[in-house]
Structure 1
Amino acid sequence: MYIYNVTINIEESVHDQWLLWMRETHIPDMLATGKFSKAKMCKVLVEEEMGGLTYSVQYTTTDKKTLESYYIEDADRLRQDITKLFAGKFVAFRTELEIVSEH
């Protein structure tokens, strides 16, 4: 199993609008690709010097091949949505994680 982790710092001025959009639109759109079995959104509890609020959104997928398919088939389209709506109001970075064990 793999986790596609997106860490996002969002400006406070658009935070509420962004959070609603994430819950009602973006995360459901990600799951609708059929490439992720679940999503977990976590608030990062560290204050950033640059301000804003930081979240980690973790999308679980079965294997690296499925994640690669997401990059090829869906990533550009879904990333454009956030850029159109919140341009200049967020910073994001993405990390791939391989689940080694769960207890």
Structure 2
Amino acid sequence: MIIINTTFHVERSIENNFCKWVRDEYVPSALASGILSEPGFSRILIEVQEDCSSFAVSFKTESIEDAVTWHDGHGAALRQSLHTKFGEKALFFSTYMDEQPL
């Protein structure tokens, strides 16, 4: 399984609206693509920048090709929506991970 994780750094002034956007728009839209499954939404406890909160949104998919297809297509549209809504108050980066057995 491949995990695609997007880490978001958001100004505290938009934190509640950002979390609502993730729950109401980002996750449902990502799942509707049919490529991703098993969403996760976590607050990162280490403060990266003063007056900012960090969050991680993760999904699982079958292959790296599926992850890249989603990220570069549907995911890009969602990230553009984020930028349109919040501008530079919300920044992000994505990471692909190969889940390993314990």
TM-score by length of 1: 0.90
Does the aligned pair in 1 maintain the 2:82–2:90 contact within 8 Å?
no
Note if contact 2:39-2:58 (Cα within 8 Å) is conserved in structure 1. Answer: yes
State the identity as a percent.
24
* 1:99 alignment counterpart: 99
Distance (whole Å) between structure 2 residues aligned to residue 71 and residue 49 of structure 1? 26
Which has the larger strand fraction? 2
**What is the CA–CA distance in structure 2 between the aligned matches of 1:87 and 1:35, rounded to whole Å?**
27
Distance in 1, Cα, partners of 2:75 & 2:42 = 21
Q: How far apart are residue 46 of structure 1 and its match?
A: 0.8
Write the distance in 2 (CA, Å) between the matches of 1:37 and 1:49.
30
Aligned counterparts of 1:73 and 1:92: Cα–Cα separation in 2: 16
Q: 1:51 to 1:39 in 2, by over 3 A?
A: same
1:22 to partner: Cα distance:
0.6
Distance 2:62 2:93 in 1: 21
- State the alpha-carbon separation in 2 of the partners of residues 93 and 50 from structure 1: 19
SS at match of 1:87: helix
Aligned pair count reads 102
Change (3 A) 1:44 1:9: same
User: Within 5 A, what are the aligned runs for 1:20-59?
Assistant: 20-59=20-59
Any idea what the Cα deviations from partners look like across 1:59-82, whole Å, max 9, x if unmatched?
111111211221343132111110
**SS of match in other structure, 2:74:** helix
Aligned partner of residue 10 in structure 1, secondary structure: strand
Q: Which range moved further: 26-35 or 61-70?
A: 61-70
Task: Give the TM-score of the pair, scaled to structure 2.
Answer: 0.91
CA-atom RMSD in angstroms: 1.3
Residues 43-63 of structure 1: per-residue CA shift (max 9 Å, x gap): 111122343110111111111
* 4+ aligned runs moved over 2 Å, structure 1: 48-51
